[in-house]
Structure 1
Amino acid sequence: MSSQLFGVPDEFDVIVIGGGPAGATTAGLLAQRGRSVLVLDRERFPRYHVGESLIPAFMRPMKELGLTERMDARGFERKYGGSLIWGNEQVPWQFSFIEGGYEYAYHTRRADLDALILDRARELGACVIEDATVRETIDVDGRVTGVRYALRGGDGLVEARAQLVVDASGQARVIGRRQTGVKWHDELRNVAVWTYFDNCERLPGDEYTNILIEGLDEGWFWGIPIDKGTISVGYVTRASTVGEGDQKLEQIFREQVERTTKLKKMLAPGRRSAGFRTARDWSYHSDRFYGDGWVLVGDSAAFVDPLFSTGVALATLAGSTLSKILDKVIEHPEIEEKALDRYATAYSNFFDEIRSFVERFYDRTKYKEFYHSLAQEMVDPEQKNKPSSDFVTLISGMSGKHPMFHIDLSDLISADDGATR
């Protein structure tokens, strides 16, 4: 039996499953364009999430949402670059975003960041319902036309219908699991174990706000300064080398920390302030990104190893692009399939380029010059810029230069207008 929530309509232009960065960005920007949007999330925000370090490309959708000044007001730590111990003989080196023409990104507590973006979607007019778990889709003649969801502590299911349904549910893949398969990337079948430390020492001088990436023979550590004294610390290694069991991962974490140099020095005055968390086999790519009445965005579509902190940026950039496309599809329903196909192709290609670079970067037998030239090969084959600048451009998320951010639908709309005259 379906019931209706007080004050909530049962029909929308778009339903978004998931209120994380991808879903909230998509919903907020659609609402900003005057579309009616329902966002459903099974959690109550703020809620915990890993992925605290961001890259400059993330600033693009945040500017569209009008959130850049609020991030500073909330006290998020500005991030100006990165420090690496990586490559042949584990030589230390670093990069600065300014070399690629970008000023900074942020380190954040994701609970605070995600709540900020979702609250902005509310402000812009999206209807947001938390503690709402989508149980099933509503299908009419093979097309997804809505969802049925349950409220925590409530009885029965609530129905909502829409012209389009967006799956932004992350690795839950609420629609993706029903509609398409997923390809795991064997080269990146890794496992991570992480925790948090307080009262730590920071990197010196102009490295003070840098993320630390310290490579070892069998894996690598991240060290992310979330605020003045707290650091997120995680260890990533091949899943095949550790087998099953979180206790073994915790033991490996402790053993590998002792083999580090910069990280061990940072942690020396600190104390652990949280339990261990783990994640496995996370690099994947959905076989399809869209279907009749539905489309994937963010981690429900694809996710790549966290080596360069691309997850949130890729999710919000895709959400920004998708919002523009869905806005046109709502106005011109006949272009839906071709428009979503262009989105899926560009999104998939963008993901594959980043994944390919990360896979090749995992070869730690090289020197930084090799990694710089590898980036140049991908983003600047005509060698117009310095290889080091191209490296920064790539790991900054290409900051709006990729075709994914410039999908043109004008020819489809012209053809549609011509067909309806």
Structure 2
Amino acid sequence: MNTIQQTDVVIIGAGPSGSSAAALLRQKGYAVTVIEKQYFPRFSIGESLLPQCMVFLEEAGLLDTIREHVAERGFQFKNGAAFLCGEKRSHYDFTEKFSAGPGTTWQVRRADFDHLLAQQAQQYGADIRFGHEVTAVDVDADQPMLTVLDESQQQYQIQAKFLLDASGFGRILPKLLDLESPSNFPVRRAIFTHIEDGIGDRADFDRNKILITVHENDHRAWYWLIPFADGRASFGVVAEQDFFNHYSVPLDADGHVTDVTQNEPEALLKRILADDLSLSQVLQHAKFDTPVRTLVGYSANVKQLASRNYALLGNAGEFLDPVFSSGVTIALKSSSLAVPLVERVLNGEQVDWMQEYELPLRKGIQVFRAYVESWYEGGFQDVVFSTHQNESIRRMISSLLAGYAWDDQNPIHKNAKSRLSALAEYCREGLAQEKALEV
């Protein structure tokens, strides 16, 4: 007869939200088992951290281990974001922001970053089981029960007093418990890779900032360029499928692709890069030496983020879009919010998960959402490239770009959607007046 294993908390997934939650719980003395399907290090995107992350990493006792490995792993110091669209350029310095807190962070290879977090959680005593896969979950009883396959495909069961799903895009609980809810974002596609960027010491490029380039002919499409400290970078493009269709290779008279290799992801990414003259100049010496990957329909939502004996962390609950690099920040924030509530459950207290977890977490997510939606509609792009911003407005925007989406003292935090719309209109009017004067 198989013995059911027991622990205080089971966490599904050892990414940033899972490792930070495990570290926080272990430092409080609780037994933690982490079930991770993959083996670390493993490739992941989302390499441009936001300064708000530093607060949560320090809180979880994980910041020092990252600092110790910055040079060794080629993590790039980051102090802001730069924007490019044809001849238009703009940038925001995160040290010049409205909100209190760190103004700098790093751009990291997620394989190394995530592995370091997981290793530190293990140092704190978390039992991380790599190569184990959750196949079934029962949350009807007071204590959740999980069925797991180990590395040798042997099945076992483990029961916990509480369950946290930090499975990211795997979205284990949403799938097993029918919690998935359609995202209202259009289906977008991302094509991406790591490159030897060959940028060198160009005067018009700042390695301390992520570069976001808007496609001149389709403002819905944008490129990311995230430099690391060793001459390499993460590079990708995001757009709706009709944008990519424009770059497909013409068919012959019989409807066949004339050159199959030209439809491969790398060839597609290179053709799209070549269509942007400004970015092509920046990357004119780049070497594509890593397989190009693609991700489609990544935006996701759920019916609820928590119940009496489980909670969803990070991307397992909701993922918006990569444009403002909010993924890791939301992941770490969710762990920071959830763990004190889990501790109360373990101590026999009642927790109102809607009022104490879901609503506070979604409050910041909705701010990010307003800016993502406005970006694709073009309004926030008008703001970013506007020359009609006073210093106080720039500081408010800089705070949001730095990840401080939960700072309700920021004047453009409240009613973010309407205030951003008004700000975009103000910037457009300023541009119109400027053009009128030129005439």
* TM-score (norm: length of structure 1): 0.83
Cα deviations across residues 205-246 of structure 1 (Å, max 9, x unaligned)? 782321111000331110111232111110111134446999
5 Å-filtered alignment, 1:20-99, equals 20-74=15-69, 75=71, 76-86=75-85, 91-99=88-96
Give yes or no for contact 2:302–2:318 (8 Å, CA) kept in 1: yes
SS at match of 2:224: strand
Which of 191, 194, 199 lines up with 1:193 in the alignment? Answer: 191
5 Å-filtered alignment, 1:162-241, equals 162-202=160-200, 204=203, 207-216=206-215, 217-218=217-218, 219-241=221-243
1:130–1:402 Cα change, 3 Å: farther
SS at match of 1:207: coil
Give yes or no for contact 1:372–1:387 (8 Å, CA) kept in 2: no
Give yes or no for contact 1:56–1:399 (8 Å, CA) kept in 2: no
Q: For the residues of structure 2 that align with 1:139 and 1:284, how far apart are their CA atoms?
A: 22
Offset at residue 252 of structure 1 (A) = 3.8
Range with greater deviation from structure 2 (256-265 or 270-279): 256-265
Q: For the residues of structure 2 that align with 1:42 and 1:105, how far apart are their CA atoms?
A: 29
Offset at residue 248 of structure 1 (A) = 6.3
Q: For the residues of structure 2 that align with 1:293 and 1:359, how far apart are their CA atoms?
A: 33
Q: In the alignment, what sits opposite 1:145?
A: 144
Long gaps (5+) in structure 1: 5-9, 377-382, 404-421
SS at match of 1:303: coil
1:112–1:298 Cα change, 3 Å: same
SS at match of 1:51: coil
Give yes or no for contact 1:167–1:296 (8 Å, CA) kept in 2: yes
Offset at residue 194 of structure 1 (A) = 0.8
1:372–1:98 Cα change, 3 Å: farther
Offset at residue 393 of structure 1 (A) = 0.5
1:359–1:387 Cα change, 3 Å: same
Give yes or no for contact 2:364–2:405 (8 Å, CA) kept in 1: no
5 Å-filtered alignment, 1:255-266, equals 255-266=271-282
Q: In the alignment, what sits opposite 2:119?
A: 119
Q: In the alignment, what sits opposite 1:276?
A: 292
Letter in 1 for 2:66: M
- Does residue 129 (structure 1) correspond to residue 126 (structure 2)? The answer is no
Q: For the residues of structure 1 that align with 2:113 and 2:304, how far apart are their CA atoms?
A: 29
Offset at residue 327 of structure 1 (A) = 1.1
Q: In the alignment, what sits opposite 2:320?
A: 304
Q: For the residues of structure 2 that align with 1:189 and 1:282, how far apart are their CA atoms?
A: 8
Q: For the residues of structure 2 that align with 1:270 and 1:295, how far apart are their CA atoms?
A: 43
Give yes or no for contact 1:167–1:176 (8 Å, CA) kept in 2: no
SS at match of 1:386: helix
Q: For the residues of structure 2 that align with 1:210 and 1:95, how far apart are their CA atoms?
A: 9
Q: In the alignment, what sits opposite 1:110?
A: 110
Which of 395, 403, 417 lines up with 1:397 in the alignment? Answer: 403
Range with greater deviation from structure 2 (364-373 or 292-301): 364-373
Give yes or no for contact 1:242–1:248 (8 Å, CA) kept in 2: no
Cα RMSD (Å): 2.8
Give yes or no for contact 1:53–1:108 (8 Å, CA) kept in 2: yes
Q: For the residues of structure 2 that align with 1:180 and 1:67, how far apart are their CA atoms?
A: 33
Letter in 1 for 2:109: R
Q: For the residues of structure 2 that align with 1:99 and 1:36, how far apart are their CA atoms?
A: 42
Letter in 2 for 1:71: I
SS at match of 2:198: coil
Letter in 2 for 1:99: E
Offset at residue 257 of structure 1 (A) = 0.7
Offset at residue 154 of structure 1 (A) = 4.0
- Does residue 327 (structure 1) correspond to residue 326 (structure 2)? The answer is no
The percentage of aligned residue pairs carrying the same residue is 23
Give yes or no for contact 1:201–1:265 (8 Å, CA) kept in 2: no
SS at match of 1:94: strand
SS at match of 2:323: helix
Cα deviations across residues 126-184 of structure 1 (Å, max 9, x unaligned)? 2211111011113455x5522111112243x1211111111111121111112243333
SS at match of 1:35: coil
Letter in 2 for 1:162: A
Offset at residue 292 of structure 1 (A) = 3.9
Q: For the residues of structure 2 that align with 1:31 and 1:121, how far apart are their CA atoms?
A: 8
Give yes or no for contact 1:371–1:391 (8 Å, CA) kept in 2: no
* TM-score (norm: length of structure 2): 0.80
Cα deviations across residues 177-199 of structure 1 (Å, max 9, x unaligned)? 12243333344421010122215
* Structure with the higher fraction of residues in helix conformation: 1
Q: For the residues of structure 2 that align with 1:371 and 1:91, how far apart are their CA atoms?
A: 7
Give yes or no for contact 1:188–1:359 (8 Å, CA) kept in 2: no
- Does residue 361 (structure 1) correspond to residue 375 (structure 2)? The answer is yes
